[in-house]
């Protein structure tokens, strides 16, 4: 059974690599020669095999200085 599992995992890895390559080719066709601006990249929807994914970004607000900021990942659990 281990040999069959390994064969299937290798097949899956190959197919995922092919899908990623095809997706990159499609994106290149859509973009043409231009490089998208950073804010354009930030506004793109993220899709998984199961459908769209909603990304959230933690925002903190300092009452003292009345500013919002985005905590770093290492401080997010604090």
Contact (CB, 8 A) for 46 and 53: yes
Two structure tokens written together for 22: 């095809």
Contact (CB, 8 A) for 70 and 58: yes
Cα separation of 52 and 41, whole Å?
16
pTM of the model: 0.47
In 1-78, alpha helices (H): 2-31, 38-42
65 lies in which domain range? 2-75
**What pLDDT shows up at residue 14?**
96
| CA-closest candidate to residue 57, choices 45, 69, 65 | 69
pLDDT, average across residues 1-22: 93
**What pLDDT shows up at residue 1?**
67
Taking only the tens place, the pLDDT of each residue in 46-67 is 888 888 888 877 788 888 888 8
In the chain, the number of structural domains is 1
Taking only the tens place, the pLDDT of each residue in 12-59 is 999 999 999 998 888 888 888 887 777 777 777 888 888 888 887 778
């Amino acid at each position: 059974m281990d040999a069959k599992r390994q064969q299937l995992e290798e097949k899956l890895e190959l197919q995922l690599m092919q899908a990623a390559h095809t997706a990159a080719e499609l994106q290149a066709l859509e973009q043409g020669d231009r490089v998208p601006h950073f804010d354009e990249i930030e506004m793109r929807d993220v899709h998984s095999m199961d459908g769209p994914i909603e990304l959230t970004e933690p925002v903190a607000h300092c009452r003292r200085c009345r500013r919002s900021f985005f905590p770093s990942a290492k401080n997010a659990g604090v």
